[in-house]
Amino acid sequence: MRLEGKVALITGGASGIGRATVEKFVREGAKVLIVDISLGSAQRAVAEIEELGFEGATAATQADVSVYSDVEAAVQRAVEVFGKLDIIFNNAGIAGGKPLLEHDPEVDYAPMIRVDQDGVYYGILAAGRQFRAQGTGGVIISTSSIYGEQAAELAFSYSAAKAAVISFTRSAAYELAQYGIRAVAITPGRVATPIINQFSEELKSTFASEQLRNKMTEPEEIANVVAFLASDESNVINGTVVHVDDGYSVYKQRLDLPTF
C-alpha cells in the first residue's frame, strides 16, 4: 500500500472528489482527518469508512477554510489524533458564476476568493509550518481547475481564484523545498460531483462532450491521481500542474470536417 503509515488532512472531505480521495487514501494505508464545513457530513463520512472495515482510519472535524484559525486548528487536530501530518489535500471549494458586469462584488467575487483562493493559501501555510516543525517533509496537493488556465463563461471570479492556486503551488514548491516539502496542483475538468450533478441532463451531456472520452470524469478517477501524487512514487513531481481533465484543455469544440 503506497500510503502505509502516512497521515493526511483532506478539506472538503465529506463529498465529491474529497470523499472519494478519503476512501482511496484509507485503502492505500493512510490515516485521514476529514475536514468539512459541515461537521455532520464529515462524521457521516467517517461512519461510512468504518462500515467498509477501516475502523480508526479516519476522524472528523469542522472547519471553514476561509478562516485561517480554523485551518490551523484542523492541522493541529490531525496531529493530536494521529500523531503527525504528512499530506494535506486542499480540496474544499465553491462554484458559481454570473456575467461580470452583473456582479455584486460581495456576493459574486469575495466569497469565491475567500474559499477557493484564501482557503488554499491557509492550508499551504498551516501545513507547511507543521511539516517544518516536524522536520519530516510533507506533500501539499491543491485543487485548481481547468478554468485556472483559460477563460470560460460565467467564471471570472472562479477562474481568478483557481489561477491563484496554480501560482501558490509554484511558489510554495520553490520556497518549501528546503524543508523537504513538495507542492503540486491538479486541474480537474468536468467531474461528476454534487455541484455538477445538480444540473440538467442536457447540460451534463454538453459538459461530457467537452472531454475526449465523451463522458464525465468520476471522483474516484481524480482520487487515484491524488493518491499517486501523495505517495513517494511521485517524488520528482514538484511545483507543477497535473492536468486531470480528460483532454478538456486540448480543444474547444469538435468540428464536422468537410470532405477534401
**Residue 80 neighbours by CB distance under 10 Å:** 12
The one catalytic residue in 121, 158, 174, 179 is 158
- Strand ranges (DSSP E) for the chain? 7-11, 31-36, 58-62, 87-90, 138-143, 181-188, 240-244
Max distance between CA atoms of the chain, in angstroms, equals 68
How far apart, in whole angstroms, are the C-alpha atoms of residue 242 and residue 101?
32
Q: From residue 83, how far is each of 3, 41, 127, 143, 228 by CA, in Å? A: 16, 24, 14, 25, 23
Sign, Cα dihedral of 11, 14, 20, 25: positive
Q: Is the separation of the CB atoms in 220 and 183 below 8 Å?
A: no
- Can 158 be counted among the known catalytic residues? yes
Nearest of 60, 114, 115, 61 to residue 92 by alpha carbon: 115
* Catalytic residue ranges: 158
